[in-house]
Amino acid sequence: MLGRGGLQTVDKHFEQLEYHNDTSAIPDYVSWALRPNGPAIYLHPTPKDYRAKKGDEGYMAPDGIFEATFIIETASPILKLMKNSVGNFGYPYDGLALTAAAVRRAFLYRRVKLQQLNATLEPFSCTHVGDMVQIYATTARALTNRRWDALLGLFGALKAVESVAGSGMMDTIDDELNFDIEYIPSSP
């Protein structure tokens, strides 16, 4: 669902009129989007023609990680469903990481498709995007609670969510769960 959603979101972006008659517009945007500081992930990416690197004097850092339209449009349908779940499972770190990987994969596919019209898409699986997901998950786990609440608001999935990170909950989970629950049948 996320893999297909990422493809649909990227394809929808390129349906805009500005890409119809300009043969260089799509490849240029794809290259920009695939940069680590590009618009695939950031709401305010480093400008397209800006070539200074991180650490260089005057570097313009991107802002709004995971707030890009591509991320919001791909993740929102799933996260809206999760907001009404019975349990509170903390922030969807891995869901956001999977979404970012799906969007990046869609741009990578678009780049290959520009060079080979009959290109096929590899499955959205651990084998093909696992490393990418791991990197995005590490970043997602580093976000502050304030940033998470803002993101969930953008996704339309804001709910009273508390992070379990740093709560000590995971340290004692074996003591808190009891798998020998007695079965109590319903009354007739």
pLDDT at 126 > cutoff 90 = no
Structure token pair of residue 60:
């313009």
Contact criterion met (CB below 8 Å) for 91 and 139 = no
Within-domain flag for 141:
yes
Determine the Cα–Cα distance for residues 30 and 84; give it in Å rounded to an integer. 35
Neighbouring residues of 108: CB distance < 8 A, sequence distance ≥ 6: 34
**Which of the four pLDDT bands, split at 50, 70 and 90, describes residue 85?**
low
Within-domain flag for 78:
yes
Distances (CA, A) of 188 to 46, 184, 185: 66, 12, 9
Determine the Cα–Cα distance for residues 161 and 170; give it in Å rounded to an integer. 17
Average pLDDT over all residues of the chain: 78
Domain range for 92: 2-176
So what's the pLDDT on residue 180? Answer: 31
pLDDT at 170 > cutoff 50 = no
Within-domain flag for 184:
no
Within-domain flag for 157:
yes
Within-domain flag for 60:
yes
Determine the distance from the C-alpha atom of residue 175 to the mean position of all C-alpha atoms in its chain, rounded to a whole number.
33
Using alpha carbons only, what angle is made at residue 15 by residues 13 and 21, rounded to the nearest 5 degrees?
120
54-78 residue pLDDT tens = 888 888 889 999 999 999 999 988 8
User: What pTM did the predictor assign?
Assistant: 0.77
Within-domain flag for 142:
yes
Residue entry with tokens 């023609």: 49
How many domains is the chain built from?
A: 1
Within-domain flag for 185:
no
Contact criterion met (CB below 8 Å) for 147 and 139 = no
Within-domain flag for 87:
yes
- Give the chain's length: 188
Among candidates 6, 4, 1, which has minimal Cα distance to 107?
A: 6
Q: Mean per-residue pLDDT for 112-117?
A: 80
